[in-house]
Structure 1
């Protein structure tokens, strides 16, 4: 930002003094050539890095995948940790050798050379690479006895070297990596940026330079806490991550609903154990099984008792209903049907719903039907509010947001050039405004269960449904002294909450204050202390879950004020809507 402003301040007086308008080509060149700060990843010294790997993964619904993104990937050995006697010595390790019973009190620090040997004075070359610390000490003492009498050696690791390994297969960034000498199979995968969605974490191969191979099932570690097969890797080792299609989503009345990888011999009981077991109210007599018909490639939906599910082959998802909700779900859902797999809709249902998770439905399903399929809402749910997000709406909002920021940038620069004034920091703040795009795409409406809107709303592929808890707060955002969230008090008007937030700033547009209701609809705030009798009270009533928005007032000195007002309005409205949604999610 500082570079951009300095650049503009140098150019602006030149255009102003010349009395010429800046041309469109020059203006666009200024815009296109702004300096954008980038993180120079290549300049980081991997040997001094101590950060936790920040790999991003979309596989958060697959059990175990997130674990491989949260492992420290520093390769700098920690010198004050004890090195076990089983540690295998590698090239470039530095060995400290202390002579005991030696009248000269001699000690030596010797690196392991590239040929695998150390050179010890008066003894010669001793091969240590590939030996454990315990066996290396025995080898050194054996060689010392050949040239010295009564002297015994004690050895320790003075400096550990990084290990070079190869990680290949279904990982984000396969390749060769320098890793910490204490790295195991499980935490080596984070060096490669995490796992692909199709990665198998139950058949990970460790291949030694000698050709020996070992298999590691990460479920031993993640579920049973057994690290027996989570071997420490050495220089030259190769980690191979295979692909798998053996994934089943288990949702509903289990303690940890996620997608799990299964082995050929495993049963539904194993999957339930992986999900930490059934809840107390689980109905095991009527379980929804969605499976791929291997002959027709169609998706079949059937209701079976738990005891009748003999194989996991072909199953894509298992839903275990709450015993108090399953009867309603079975009656209203119409679950026993067959659909073409390619036609199915994938929907995400979250929040205060009895059986949250990822669902697949046939086209034409309404939002109200989804409530029944997912077991209904919980007793803590806000019975008047449902948040519905749609990808097509999100894409349009993102497009509008980027277009508005680009046009606003052009207007700001053009105004500064023509008037010979500094760039407005207030308007630049709109361009630099960070908005969480995952919160965009909301369709406003009264989508609560059994409402007319929920019955009429036909869902689309990728829709996301979130049922919030009953709200108890009011948020005030925008041009106030202290944007805050307050406990809802029924007798307070919007002016009272603004005063609680420290009052409005001089930069606020008092006439354009508005309220984003919990259902996503916006209404203009009207002064309750001077409200006209003919205006319905409901249009000004503050309810729990509402967000009061105090927008910025655009200076009348700004050139093309109408355009700037329109653009800042688009940007701020999208930002405030996202902030309002975040408040409901965090409620």
Structure 2
């Protein structure tokens, strides 16, 4: 995510580079414009003198290639593309179940505790402790042999492998009753066997593992590093003797606390974790936002229950919206929980908040759903991300973030919009293409040595990053007087409010471009004088003032006039080159808007940055 503070707060080093760049491109470039000549074909020496990227673009422009088409292409954002863009925000949501294995040790072995659960299933190599009470008071240890038997003195073999500890205790007492009167056996597990289990499929480290006989499915999966990114928590198969013994759903343990102790492992067992394709994110007014796995036939209400149900801030009607992806589009289904809907792969669920809360997640067929926050940074009381509803105005958001700090420069506040950015980028592309086509029509320069500087200008212009700044009103008082000034917010808007600095910037065709302390009573010509005055190439009829709010104005500097221009702190004064005083007017007229656009873009960036 872009950090507006980082983006627009620059240091002294940047200012130095900035002014050097402006000197280079507003003076030196225009100095060489008179040397541009006319030609109907591209000069080979001229082409070789250009940087690779500019040369390629120029050749494409002359061949009617993709560059010309690029200037005519518009990126029309459909309702579907807005949904697709919004769904990118789901990337940060974690899959439910991953946290159970995140902090598990790489190797895990249950403690060999003799106090086994009565449901523990006995098998070969378990060591039993049998204590006889009554007429015979004796204690013996018996290890279960390869046949699954123990051999009790004076009684014989008793097969206990495969029985639970409780069932084995009953069988031993029943058998002893046939040989001894008033004698009772108390059975305990003294030592647990080791088992060899195969864990494979979609786990992090498939392979054979030696585990304690106490181990269950959890222990085996933990030893294998946990379920992999594409593995299923709900479709795990346990095979014994080559046959499917049980299908296991770990959600029973994750959500309902079932310990799965009835699924004891035995040597030779195989655990196979199947892949998972049925994942659905649930966000909004639920108790546990996450990506959940569903089984075929499960419904929205079942998955919401996995998410902990509706939170206390959910809509009283328990409404949700479901985005369903088709082959090349999205379908939005809005419903209440009692109108249950079966889930499909790639569905997304949004649960509605109460009306007065952030309702960016809730969608309907009629409205553009808004689940991208507006970011607010700078000199405001509560910076951060704010979720907006459809048709929400800027004045309401100002109230939400608590208003501005005392030293905020409201007039310099900036709002950035993605749509405005796209239009700005398209405009810059067209300017660039027009300049290339003009160069192609001329084809050469009288002085080839000067091409490098001109191509540098085109390269620099091509690198301009559109900001998408929207000129709007941030003053609550002015908005209250004229509600039409209240900007309607869009998803993804970004707001930066600078701190006030009493500074004026002057650059362009002056002897010493730089920064000056702002005074209300100082006129534009005085600031120019402070910068060393105009040079011989200044265009006094086309001076550009860039104001802190992003707006600009072209003014004429008159000798016998007060030149009353309403300058404000943070304004930029740019004096362009007078293109009409040089030869080669054809190329000059084409390059003029590029130079002006480059200068204004840099001036706007500098104005915002230093505020």
TM-score range, shorter chain: 0.3 to 0.5
Scaled by the length of structure 1, the TM-score of the pair is: 0.44
Scaled by the length of structure 2, the TM-score of the pair is: 0.42
Tell which has more relative contact order, 1 or 2 (C-alpha 8 A, sep 6+): 2
Which structure: larger Rg? Answer: 2
